[in-house]
Amino acid sequence: MLIVMSHKATKEQLDAVVQAVERMGLRAAPIPGSERTAVGVLGNEGYIDDLTIRDLPGIQQIIHVSKPYKMVSRDFHPQSSVVNVAGVRIGAGCRPVVAAGPCAVEGEEQIIRTARAVKAAGADLLRGGAYKPRTGPHTFQGLGEAGLSLLAAAGRESGLPVVTEVMSPDHVGLVAAHADLLQVGARNMQNFDLLKELGRAAKPVLLKRGMSATIEEFLASAEYILAGGNPDVILCERGIRTFETATRNTLDLSIVPLIKEFSHLPIMVDPSHATGKRSLVPPMAKAALVAGAHGLLIEVHPEPEKALSDGPQSLTPQGFAALMADLGRLHAFLGV
């Protein structure tokens, strides 16, 4: 950390800053300049909380050199991580995976039909929400525990590991008993109690990017899970809020190569929630693979027009099979 003093700062103010740094158990190295003095802070391991310093008089600016995350960073862990989800390997050097299924589990027939269809088309994982984070309380909220059981049964029947969302720290044990991969939705990316509980879970986590989260905030949330003792985190870009209203969100594909620079964790892309529009899902899925995504999360519904949530962005089984055939050709072309 570098503390830049104002050009009007007095010797007493500089001394007070030096003492405050030393009270934190760190070393302060004043660097006098022609116009102002800067104070280099040394001896820290990782990010410094500047709370007790930032309001001291005479300070013009505090520049953080270390990031608010460490365990997820590539500096700390140069080798890319591969996460094993019930035998499906996700990450660098692995064939990109596809998790597919409905937004929500709506009933036995719906989830079994979808599971069979996505399995036949080549999906690696089955998705389906049982606890749904809906914007308003008057819409379908998911089947809860019954939905978890139906999803797990469809996964067993089709031979696909399952991924589903967990919204509350109290449900982590229950969801982990049914699912192979625990999803944190965009709206809960900064639910810190949930992240801490997932740090203690024995199942891998799919952490979706918050609607307005910066890359730094996204990685700091992943850090909670790793710091809690769970190393198996997969990141997922699902579009961010911008001024644009023609699409549901704006897919930020540049995050894919950028995450690979900053972090060793795998990164997947969800073109369904990113666009909100069925016709845009296949082209954005392909673009995500070209950008280097380690996997895709795609909503598929046997009858999208009857879906209780996210029908407009759900592919039909036929549409999904066509996309999977295209992705196969793309894998061959990209050599992944």
Q: Which residues here bind ligand PEP, judged by CB under 6 A? A: 103, 129, 133, 185-187, 208, 238, 270, 273
Q: Which residue is nearest to Mn ion (CB)?
A: 103
Distance CA 39, CA 26 (A): 12
Query: What does 133 interact with, of Mn ion, ligand PEP, none (CB < 5 to 8 A by kind)?
Result: ligand PEP
Kindly list the residues in this chain that would bind Mn ion in the complex (CB under 5 A): 103, 310
Structure tokens at 159: 């031979």
How far apart are alpha carbons 208 and 4 in whole angstroms?
A: 36
Comparing C-alpha atoms, which of 85, 63, 87, 67 is closest to residue 75? Answer: 67
Query: Shortest CA distance to 228 belongs to which of 206, 271, 197, 191?
Result: 197
Strand partners, 184: 207
- Of 223 and 310, nearer to Mn ion (C-beta) is 310
CB closer to ligand PEP, 171 vs 238: 238
Which of ligand PEP, Mn ion, none does 260 bind, CB closer than 5 to 8 A by kind? none
Q: How far is the CB of 111 from ligand PEP (least distance, A)?
A: 14
Of Mn ion, ligand PEP, none, which one sits near residue 319, judging by CB under 5 to 8 A according to partner kind?
A: none
CB atoms inside a 10 Å sphere around CB 271: 29
Give whichever of 73 and 275 is closer to ligand PEP, judged by the CB atom: 275
Three-class SS of residue 186? helix
User: Least separation, in Å, of the C-beta of 309 and ligand PEP?
Assistant: 8
What sign for the dihedral angle of Cα 2, 5, 10, 13? negative
The C-alpha atoms of residue 5 and residue 256 are separated, in whole angstroms, by: 37
> Residues with Cβ < 8 Å from 325, sequence gap 6 or more?
none
> Which runs of consecutive H residues, i.e. helices, occur in the chain?
11-23, 108-121, 145-158, 172-178, 192-199, 215-227, 255-262, 271-275, 281-291, 317-334
Look at residue 180 and give the partner it binds from Mn ion, ligand PEP, none, a contact being a CB closer than 5 to 8 Å depending on partner kind.
none
Q: Given the complex with Mn ion, which of 3 and 280 has the nearer CB atom?
A: 280
Residue 271 contact among ligand PEP, Mn ion, none, beta carbon within 5 to 8 Å by kind: none
Give the shortest CB-267-to-ligand PEP separation in angstroms: 14
Between 28 and 297, name the residue whose CB sits nearer to ligand PEP.
Answer: 297
Choose the contact partner of 197 out of ligand PEP, Mn ion, none; CB within 5 to 8 A by kind.
none
Min dist CB 273 to ligand PEP, Å, is 4
Position 136: which residue type? G
Cβ distance to Mn ion smaller for residue 5 or 118: 118
**Residue 185 binds what, of ligand PEP, Mn ion, none (CB under 5 to 8 Å, by partner type)?**
ligand PEP
Nearest residue (beta carbon) to ligand PEP:
185
Residue closer to ligand PEP, measured from CB, 129 or 147 = 129
Q: Rounded to the nearest whole angstrom, what is the least distance from the CB of residue 309 to Mn ion in the complex?
A: 6
Q: Residue 14 or 206: which CB sits closer to ligand PEP?
A: 206
Min separation Cβ 319 and ligand PEP, Å: 18
The amino acid that residue 5 corresponds to is M
DSSP state, residue 309:
S
Facing residues of 99 across strands? 125, 297
Q: What are phi and psi of 328, to 5 degrees?
A: -60, -45
